[in-house]
Chains A and B, each alone.
Chain A
Amino acid sequence: MGLIGGIFGVTRGLREKFGEDRVRDTPISEATFLGAGVGAAIAGLRPVVEIQIFDFVAMTMDQIVNQAAKFRYMLGGRPTVPLVIRGPQGGGIRLAAQHSQSLEAWFVHVPGLVVVAPSTPYDAKGLLAASIREDNPVIFLEHKALYAVKGPVPAEPYALPLGKADVKRAGRDVTLVATLAMVARALAAAAELEKDGISVEVIDPRTLVPLDEATILASVARTGRLVIAHEAVKRGGWGAELAALVSERALDALDGPIVRVAARNVPMPYNDSLERATIPTPQDIAAAVRGLV
């Protein structure tokens, strides 16, 4: 990571600038180097730990779930654990079942973790800066298919608030909440639907914990319809949580069922046409919206 800048180049140039002490290549011991991040955070540093491919996070779950997430609470609510755990998740580049998962629901489920999921370069820069300044352990999810996507980014340092959604496109008829790589596909679907006179509001929550419930609920109150799009498998996915939340809080506002567009409930296949058939497309999202109006 230090020497070559990570497999996607995210850490490029850091070692040259900040030295080997602060930019460390580790042995392939995910549980322990992540745990060392927990220990260093408790001891007063602010580690950023890279999981090379986020599926490997399974190797580290004790340190995330039982240690980092609970440390402050178990100790009476006083210590801080300023730790960022970041890396690429998601599919789309034929890496098959152990290198392509979208696991955000695991982390959303565990009290004590912040879960961040940017969809644009602008959001990514500002949210990573905020995550590093945050005093709680942050799971920072990067979608590997988005690394090469370009967008406007101010040169000066800035941070974006955690827990504030971004309305990527305003609309009247349907609220479409999408995360990570699904945001661009949701926007593509919305552009297509516009031609048919269907006005879609696309909301990117940007952080799943804390969640900007107010922005989503206010939108649903206006549109009366909700579609949720994520790349993770549908069963037990984050969309189920959001659907439950909206039905508990805004059932009266809904004019139809909440619809989830998500991956099939299968591991990611290697074959490229099968992989494309697994991950939701703009057409899948558009079809879900059409079904509601």
Chain B
Amino acid sequence: MTLSAEQLESLYTTMVRIRRFDEKTAELFQAGLVKGTAHSYVGEEAVAAGACASLREGDYIVGTHRGHGHCIAKGARLDLMMAELMGRQDGYCRGLGGSMHIAALDLRILGCNGIVAAGLPIGTGAALAEKIRRTDHVVIAFFGDGGANQGVVHEAMNLAAVWALPIVFLCENNQYALSTASKRTTAGPSIAARAAGYDIPGARVDGNDVHAVFEAVGAAVARARRGEGPSLVEAVTYRWGGHSMRANLPDYRTKEEEREWMERDPIARLGHHLVEDRHVTPIRLKELEERVEIELERAVEFAKASPEPSVELMEASVYAPHVEVREPAPTGGRELTMAEALNEALHGEMQRDARVFVMGGQGRGAHRRDLRRDARPA
């Protein structure tokens, strides 16, 4: 599938929005307006932009701690994101979440995540929900080369494969987990090669080439939409900056390596392609970039003008209102065991509400009999 010049302009804009957003965030972090920490996506823009280009409104993403790019590519607003980074009332999370927890459920962005690879089980669950509802919505679950070594990555891929869930596991291999080189921590020829173990498609692509990402993820999304199950895509890329904006780590990469990767700038590559092969004028690109500048300026102004959240917001945000139920009818003469009573509740609720479903680990038959015999009051 080839992208039209119009689609490519849109991808170009998305990538510039991601880059300029994180460059601006770094400035604001230095100025003390963005606090705590944030993780810049600069250098990796082609991955999120190319991947999300195949998604529709009903599709989901789950992001990572380096998640601004994921959110922007899925349609998040820069002003609400910036307000969140500044911890303000009008931010996506009303100032309670910050950089690592931006989410927009109306856009089906199920959240960045501060726990490495924790989004994969969650994304798998969203894919399960869509499968149970028999829609053709799909999920892209982003994770990194560092996250690839978490146990839940194996578990999630196995579960998604055995249940043929509509999910794309997208590894952004930026080659460093914080300061540790991936090759020092990761066995095997590649992350993508692991797909063979689950008998699902696996592809390794140049993550700085938006076309390559679009094609590989597009094929995986199409497969998921057809109900044929998950895929694994590994996009090899590089972050230009440090692990986080706190920038408190000594050098762990060579200048040569950094320069080499910056020469493979995904935005410059796409710009070059647009001008050389698609007859888009440099003036047109400039115009797109200027529009982003205006949007970004407005986003920063919006964020600065937004009030700080109130202390009252906190306690009120922990729990949804508890369920309100009427006191039951008086008890009759019928007696049940607790196991039977629980079973009856499950039957009743599953009957009452089609959204209720149950799942859990298997038990062996003989084991069950033994336990039931023993499960008598002491």
A: which residues have CB within 8 A of B?
A: 1-14, 17-18, 21-52, 56, 62-63, 66-67, 71-80, 86-87, 92-94, 111-112, 114, 118, 120-122, 124-126, 128-130, 132-136, 142, 144-163, 184, 210, 276, 279
A122 to B346 Cα, complex, angstroms:
14
Whether A92 lies near B378 (C-beta < 8 A) is yes
Chain A positions within 8 Å of B365 at CB level? 4
Whether B360 lies near A39 (C-beta < 8 A) is no
Q: From B150-158, B173-181, B272-280, give the one contacting chain A.
A: B150-158
Interface mask (B191-217 → A, CB under 8 Å = 1, otherwise 0)? 000000000000000000000000000
A-B contacts, 20 of them at CB < 8 A, read A1-B363, A24-B359, A35-B122, A36-B359, A40-B357, A46-B356, A52-B362, A66-B114, A73-B317, A111-B318, A125-B341, A126-B325, A126-B345, A129-B349, A132-B356, A150-B335, A150-B336, A153-B340, A159-B325, A160-B328
Whether A154 lies near B110 (C-beta < 8 A) is no
A31 to B155 Cα, complex, angstroms:
8
A32/B124 contact (C-beta < 8 A), A1-B363, A76-B97 known: yes
* Given A152-B335, A153-B331: 19 more A-B contacts, CB < 8 Å: A14-B350, A24-B357, A24-B359, A36-B159, A39-B126, A39-B128, A39-B129, A42-B105, A46-B353, A49-B359, A76-B92, A80-B320, A120-B338, A129-B345, A130-B325, A132-B356, A146-B338, A150-B336, A159-B328
A226 to B55 Cα, complex, angstroms:
60
> Which of A24, A25, A121 is B340 in contact with, Cβ under 8 Å?
A121
Chain B positions within 8 Å of A10 at CB level? 339, 342-343, 346
Whether A51 lies near B105 (C-beta < 8 A) is no
Whether A135 lies near B356 (C-beta < 8 A) is no
Q: From B33-41, B237-245, B295-303, B368-376, give the one contacting chain A.
A: B368-376
A17 to B292 Cα, complex, angstroms:
55
Chain A positions within 8 Å of B342 at CB level? 10, 86, 124-125, 128, 142
Interface mask (B65-90 → A, CB under 8 Å = 1, otherwise 0)? 00000000000000000000000000
A22/B318 contact (C-beta < 8 A), A32-B124, A43-B60, A155-B332 known: no
A125 to B352 Cα, complex, angstroms:
15
> Which of A9, A120, A145, A160 is B368 in contact with, Cβ under 8 Å?
A9
Whether B132 lies near A12 (C-beta < 8 A) is no
A31 to B115 Cα, complex, angstroms:
13
Chain A positions within 8 Å of B126 at CB level? 39-40, 42-43
Q: Is the CB of B130 closer than 8 A to any CB of chain A?
A: yes
Q: Is the CB of B283 closer than 8 A to any CB of chain A?
A: no
A44 to B362 Cα, complex, angstroms:
25
Among A4, A39, A56: residue with most chain B CB under 10 A = A39
* Closest residue on chain A to residue B316 by CB atoms: A77
Chain A positions within 8 Å of B339 at CB level? 8-10, 147-148
> Which of B130, B322, B336 is A121 in contact with, Cβ under 8 Å?
B336
Q: Is the CB of B111 closer than 8 A to any CB of chain A?
A: yes
Q: Is the CB of B286 closer than 8 A to any CB of chain A?
A: no
- Rounded to whole Å, the gap between the CB of A190 and the closest CB of chain B is 17
Whether B337 lies near A148 (C-beta < 8 A) is yes
- Rounded to whole Å, the gap between the CB of A135 and the closest CB of chain B is 4
Whether A130 lies near B323 (C-beta < 8 A) is yes
A276 to B361 Cα, complex, angstroms:
29
Chain A positions within 8 Å of B329 at CB level? 154, 156, 158
A35/B124 contact (C-beta < 8 A), A14-B358, A67-B115, A153-B335 known: yes
* Closest residue on chain B to residue A94 by CB atoms: B374
> Which of B94, B357, B377 is A148 in contact with, Cβ under 8 Å?
B377
A3 to B361 Cα, complex, angstroms:
11
Chain A positions within 8 Å of B377 at CB level? 145-146, 148-149, 184
6 closest residue pairs by CB, A with B: A39-B125, A35-B121, A77-B317, A50-B360, A158-B328, A7-B363
- Rounded to whole Å, the gap between the CB of A197 and the closest CB of chain B is 27
Among B130, B331, B345: residue with most chain A CB under 10 A = B345
A14 to B65 Cα, complex, angstroms:
39
Whether B96 lies near A36 (C-beta < 8 A) is no
* Closest residue on chain B to residue A161 by CB atoms: B325
* Closest residue on chain B to residue A22 by CB atoms: B357
> Which of A45, A52, A142, A161 is B360 in contact with, Cβ under 8 Å?
A52
Among B320, B352, B367, B376: residue with most chain A CB under 10 A = B320
Chain A positions within 8 Å of B364 at CB level? 7
- Rounded to whole Å, the gap between the CB of A47 and the closest CB of chain B is 6
* Closest residue on chain A to residue B353 by CB atoms: A46
Chain A positions within 8 Å of B290 at CB level? none
> Which of B324, B335, B356 is A151 in contact with, Cβ under 8 Å?
B335
Chain A positions within 8 Å of B336 at CB level? 121, 125, 150-151, 153
Chain A positions within 8 Å of B113 at CB level? 67
A71/B371 contact (C-beta < 8 A), A45-B355, A47-B358 known: no
Whether A38 lies near B121 (C-beta < 8 A) is yes
Chain B positions within 8 Å of A50 at CB level? 358-361
